Every structure is written in structure tokens, then in C-alpha cells.
Structure 1
């Protein structure tokens, strides 16, 4: 097929693509503990049905120990052509406080060319990008195709890592397309060449056997919540720089957003300063970042006048691509023990680790992708980093060191992934699906 034919085919397929994405977004496939499991399995089934619609010769759900099933598909390419693995995930982040959403998180809504809903961008757009690109070829693919759609990337993604390590032939490929990233801005084509790793843990602080009346005991009884607040606040200095010894600021060798661009994208309020030092790219893509993502304490609405005996927090650390997540966790936990006041008892559990990624300079697949992105977006792509982590990528690098791993997708920095009012720009989905289809054609024909 010619690029013109591919572009026309994708454009004609977009109404169906949007309906398919709306169907997926309507399924609350949150794979976190405490959430219903039935919607996650429903999303797996819907994903399986979508892959079957592409003309793949073989599609099935594959059990993953301790997790939700992966959806797998494959098809042979013409003799002598390379094999491409396409990756995405069908699980999503929890929606959080529904009052912060302008539209219901699991009622997909199209407004001003954007589709709103939890998972519309991260990462159900990746599934639909793959499906739309594959449909172009009507079962006659220019390369060998393998598709792996994960069911628990947002929580405990390391379980698929173990599965891949145990089943390498299933996902062995010459090039691997990870559709779980995106562009800094809509219409600004980019390839993510570095990912920070991730380390997360839950910390529990205990001081008393039970809650105590704050009037009778406050002032002498040690408050677990106050202790935890002091410990967490000590992780950063007055400028927001990480204070933990052994976690220095890094440097990103490339262009990133300006302070003004980042403030606008992040929605930083007027008069509120950015934190840390160095360029925004340094801080987002090459340095450590520590975030307290949740605290278990009494709510304001249900508060009573009591000194708290226990408090818990979830702490996430983003780790530079070349750094070790386990060593990072050890450093942070050791620091928290050092700064803990009053001899409080500390417990650490629910540790999750994920390595970072740094791409090689590129090869045949990257050359084909550059041509495809320029065709779809009308401009050459640039290299960027990503502050988030994708647990599977580091495993793929270790398992298949000769494979080219290409990270691009339909998300953008304004898509509000992991936040209220997540949205996907529909035109960006069209361009991304076009680029993927042109890439498959270019890569298969470059023999």
C-alpha cells in the first residue's frame, strides 16, 4: 500500500475507531486491589474481540500468574520480513474523586474534538491505535505481527515482566512498539528515548495502642500523624529539591519544555513556584522525584479530637533511567528512619520496583518510524524523555537486546492521564494510527 492509501484508509476508519474507544473507556477496568474484578475481565474480552477484528490469524487471552490475563495476537508476515511486537494495556488508574470530573469518568464524552474519560489516553488509546493501524491491511500484513495487551500495568506491572521472562519466544521480535507514551503537545511528533524507573512503598508509623483524647493526652502523647508529616516533609528542602543522600539531580541532554510551557501544561497556579532546580527536562526526565501519593488518616469530615496512634502513606519515587530502583528505595527508607522523631515504630510494605529505559541511537526500525511520523504529522519527530515508567520495557531490553524498542503514542502532556478529566485528542489518534500503519509498511518493505 502507498502512504496515500494508508492515510485514506485510517481516515475512513476513524468513526469506528472512536466508537471502539468509547466502548473500552466505558468499562471501569481498574486493576487495583479493592476494586471490582469483573470490569477488568470485561475489558480483556473486549480487547480480544477488537484484535480478532483486525485479521490476525491467532488471538487469545493468556493467564498471567497473580494478575489479569494478557490478550495476545499474532500473524505471519511475508517470508524474510521482520517481526514487530505491539504493546499496550487495558487497565486504568482509579478515577479518584468524581466531583473533580467535568464529565463522568466512565461515561465517555466527546467535546471539542476530544474524548473524555478515564483511560481514554492511558492507555486504551494505545489499543485503538494498534487496532486501527492493523485494520488497514485487512489481514495481509507487510511484517510479522505480535500483539501483547497487558491487564495490570498500572498496579503490579512486574507480574507481566515475570511472564515475559518465562515465555520469551512468545514475544520475541525485531522491533517493539510501545504505545503508552505520547507527545509534549498535540501535533508535535516525538519518540520517547528515555524513561525514569519507579520505586514505591507504603510506610506505616505507630506510636500508641489506640486513639487518645486530645484534651486529656495531647501535648505528651506522641501523635503518629504528626510524626509521619514531619518525616515526609523532610524528604525535600525549602526549594522542593530532594534531600535524600545519594539521589543527586541529573541532566537531560536534549531540549525540553520551557518553564512557561510546563506551567501552562501542568496548570500551575499564578504565584506558585516550580520546585527543584535545573531545566524542566532535567527535573522531569533525568532526576529523582519523590511524591506522596496517598495518606491513610481520618478524614476532615469524620475527624474526632484524638491523638492518632497510626498513620500510613504511599510514597512513589521516580528513578533516573540508569539508576537502580532497589538501591533508591533503600536510600529513601534509610533516610526516613534517620529523621523519624520520638522513637516511633516504622513498617515498610507493598514495595513495587520498575527499572528505567534509555534507547540506543536507532536503526532500521527507527528510520522507518521517522519517515512514518513525518508523513502523519507533517514534521520530523524529536527525541524526548518521559518521567513515568513502563515496567515491561526494561524486561524487554534485557530479554531482547538486539530489538529496537520504539515508544510513541496518541497521548500528549495535556491529556491529564492519572488525573481528573483525562482526555484524548481524536485528531492525534488519527495521526498516530496513520504513523503506525505507515511504519509497518516502511519497515516491511525496507529489505
Structure 2
């Protein structure tokens, strides 16, 4: 049967690619209010794709104004067969400066072994992966399928709890397949079993009520930029390890991450040294990490000879799977309050938080997935992989459906460049992903 399904995916691939390209041309940027109509059009296109395959499909929203449209669809399998919920999202990140792209971001373009365009991988290829598995079986599904295609994942899934609460009975499943992650490498599949959480905090320090002459008062009065810099530095030791008391971490899977690959995939400038200590994958996946992702202060061009009275930075703390956002936020705030230098005024505003995820990847559903992936990649077994980034909605699914087995898969690879310019889908790997999900449904049905 594997050979028959492999041949079926190969037969369907040209049409699936056309469906993907049509979706990519829809500018479903959920962060841009001016493109709300495009997000709606994207939801309608997804609904119609699954309706054409015999699903009962409709558009729903967790917001009173109907914004952030999601798609729920269902198609029955044999009596007594498991129910499988397939998740993806049809909204995408902004494309930003078109000049940074080697081809138009909204016109899918094949170059080499990739298809480039915003959403080609994250996550419209995930949507079409689910479509492929359904299309491969036609009216002979081995399981009952429920589709949940979200419309605001890229802006934090704010209405997801309301959607899960409203449609909980419709979305209940034995197995949940979330297609929004990636694989370990080209030719090496993976199941994602841990993701870090996120705490974002805007921190402002003030040392003056107004700017004053740096010649008159420098050497006595601290300026805000110097003060904020000292506060940021207090979070790290000389090696770059975090020294914020109370943060939690854990061990990671025993996976080798070669130095040359780290250099190539991270984009690190020549000569840059890594920060922190301990195994690489722990620093990337299962230990907390703090980055400063924004800084408000006068620009160098046009700067005057004055002491800056206030400065602000965004602290982006990735929390370990062993931690909670509440604990991490409290630890970060306590550290900053304790270490703000020179009596400066400190103001902290929470931007958002998201929970980390740790999945116990054992049981029949994971056995079925590992067997399917090994077949699809011609004998290469999947790696159990952590992800340093955050997908907070996974914790929402785990809370809403505690009895379900949650499988986190995806179409991305280390060079996908999701969220950045020249986002691209590796076409040969995508074909393996299509086959893997099809085989997974077969295995679950058995």
C-alpha cells in the first residue's frame, strides 16, 4: 500500500502545487489591518479547497467583528475509526521591504530546488499538506478528519482560546497533527517535542526630568542610555550565561549540531563567538535565553551634546520548556528591580507572554508517526527535536484536549527563512512531507 500511496502523491503533486501557489498569491497578512480583506479571501479559498474534497467546511471567528477568520471542516471516516484533527494557519507574516527579496514575495517563483514566496512554507504549505492527505484517500478515508485552519497565528492567536472553547466538541480528536514546525535537515525528518515559551517586557529607565548639557553635568549625572546598558549587562555573566535567579531549564535530546552547520544556519559573522556554556542544543532549545530586540534612544545622526533623560528597550525572554511564563516574568522583573543602577526610575510594561511546550512523545500515535516518517524518507528515522522559538498555541491545544496525542510536524528546514526575505519551500522535501502525513493517517486507521 505504501507504493500505491507514493504513486498517488506523485500523481497529485502538480495540482497541489498549483493550489499552494494560488494561496501564496493572496496577501493574508494578519498584522496589517489594510489587508483584512485578503485574510478573509484566504480563508474563503481554504474553505473552498476542502469543500471540493467533500468536507463540510465553514468559516468561523472568535471575535465579535468576524476578524481573524478560521476554517473548520470535517469529513467522516469509517465507523469506530479514530478522529484526527489537522491544524495549520493560513495567515502569514508581512513581507517587509520588497528590495530584500530576489523575486516578488507574492508571486511564487521556483529557483533551484525551492519555491520562493511569502507563505510558501509558513504555513500555506502546511495547509496544502493536509489537503494532500485528504485528497490521496478521496472518499475512502482511514480516519475521520477534522480541519482547523487558523487565521491569526502570526499575530499571537489571541482569539484561539475562544475558538477552542466555542467549538471544543467539534474539534475533539484522538490525535492532533500540528503542521507548523519543521524537520532536522534536508533528508532527515523530525518530530518537534519541545518549544520554548516567550515573555516580552518593555523596560524604560529615567535618570533626568529633562535633557541637560553633557559638558556641564557629565561625570556627575548618569545618562539613561548608560544606565539601561548597565541594567541589560547585569543579566549576563562574562561568558553570556543568564544570571537571573529563578529561571528554570532542563536537559535536551542528545543531538549533534556540528559547528559548520551552526555557522551556516545562524548567519553568524566571521569571528563571532557563541555565548553561554553547556551543550549547544540545550542553549538553543531547553534553557532560557534573553535578547534585546528593540531600543529607543536618540539616533546617532543629529545627536546633540546632551545627557539623554530616558531610554527604553524590549526584553525578549525565551523561557525553557520546564518553566512557566508567570515564573519567568516574575524572575525577570525582580532581577531588574534589584539591579537598576544609580537610583534610576524603572518602568516595566508587559507586552505579551506565551507558554512553553514539552510533549511526552510516546504511545501508539507517535509509533505510527515514526513509522510513517521512516517510510517516507526511505529508511531515515525522525529525530526528536526541540525548537528554540515559541508556538504558544500548542499549549492551548494540550490544555483543551488533554487526552489527545499531539504530534508537531511541519514543512520547514534549516534554510526555509520563515518570517524573513526569500522564504522558500524545499520542493523535494515537501513531497516527502506529503507522503509522510498520508502514511500517518493510514497507520492511525490501522
TM-score over 0.5 for the pair:
yes
SS in 1 for 2:159: helix
CA positional deviation for 1:86: 0.6
CA positional deviation for 1:230: 2.8
- Unmatched runs of 5 consecutive residues or more in structure 2: none
Contact in 1 for aligned 2:236/2:243 (Cα 8 Å)? yes
Q: Does 1:188 align with 2:188?
A: yes
The count of corresponding residues between Structure 1 and Structure 2 is 444
Contact in 2 for aligned 1:51/1:59 (Cα 8 Å)? no
CA positional deviation for 1:139: 4.0
Residue by residue over 1:187-224, the C-alpha shift from the partner in whole angstroms, topping out at 9 and shown as x without a partner, is 20111112222222322334455556666766666543
Residue by residue over 1:124-167, the C-alpha shift from the partner in whole angstroms, topping out at 9 and shown as x without a partner, is 22112112222212244221111111122232224313431454
Residue by residue over 1:87-141, the C-alpha shift from the partner in whole angstroms, topping out at 9 and shown as x without a partner, is 1112223334544433343343221021222332222221121122222122442
Q: How does 1:35-434 map to 2 (within 5 A)?
A: 36-64=35-63, 68-208=68-208, 222-247=222-247, 249-300=249-300, 307-378=307-378, 379-434=380-435
Residue by residue over 1:34-84, the C-alpha shift from the partner in whole angstroms, topping out at 9 and shown as x without a partner, is 764333333323322333333313333334468612211111111010000
Would the alpha carbon gap of residues 3 and 211 (structure 1) be closer, same or farther in structure 2, given more than 3 Å must change? farther
CA positional deviation for 1:437: 1.1
**Alpha-carbon distance in 1 for matches of 2:121, 2:394:** 19
Contact in 2 for aligned 1:92/1:154 (Cα 8 Å)? yes
Contact in 2 for aligned 1:44/1:61 (Cα 8 Å)? no
**Alpha-carbon distance in 2 for matches of 1:203, 1:357:** 26
SS in 2 for 1:410: strand
SS in 1 for 2:137: coil
SS in 2 for 1:102: coil
Q: Does 1:3 align with 2:2?
A: yes
Moved more, 197-206 or 79-88: 197-206
SS in 2 for 1:180: strand
TM-score normalized by structure 2? Answer: 0.90
Contact in 1 for aligned 2:46/2:71 (Cα 8 Å)? yes
**Alpha-carbon distance in 2 for matches of 1:263, 1:392:** 30
Would the alpha carbon gap of residues 310 and 288 (structure 1) be closer, same or farther in structure 2, given more than 3 Å must change? same
SS in 2 for 1:136: helix
* CA-based RMSD: 2.6
**Alpha-carbon distance in 1 for matches of 2:161, 2:319:** 18
Partner residue of 1:443?
Answer: 444
CA positional deviation for 1:436: 0.7
Would the alpha carbon gap of residues 192 and 305 (structure 1) be closer, same or farther in structure 2, given more than 3 Å must change? same
Contact in 1 for aligned 2:50/2:73 (Cα 8 Å)? yes
Contact in 1 for aligned 2:193/2:359 (Cα 8 Å)? yes
Residue by residue over 1:226-255, the C-alpha shift from the partner in whole angstroms, topping out at 9 and shown as x without a partner, is 333332233222222112112255321422
Partner residue of 2:21?
Answer: 22
CA positional deviation for 1:427: 1.3
Would the alpha carbon gap of residues 356 and 248 (structure 1) be closer, same or farther in structure 2, given more than 3 Å must change? closer
Residue by residue over 1:387-441, the C-alpha shift from the partner in whole angstroms, topping out at 9 and shown as x without a partner, is 1222221122222222111111111122122333222111111111111111112
- Unmatched runs of 5 consecutive residues or more in structure 1: none
Would the alpha carbon gap of residues 176 and 294 (structure 1) be closer, same or farther in structure 2, given more than 3 Å must change? same
Moved more, 168-177 or 417-426: 417-426
Would the alpha carbon gap of residues 153 and 350 (structure 1) be closer, same or farther in structure 2, given more than 3 Å must change? farther
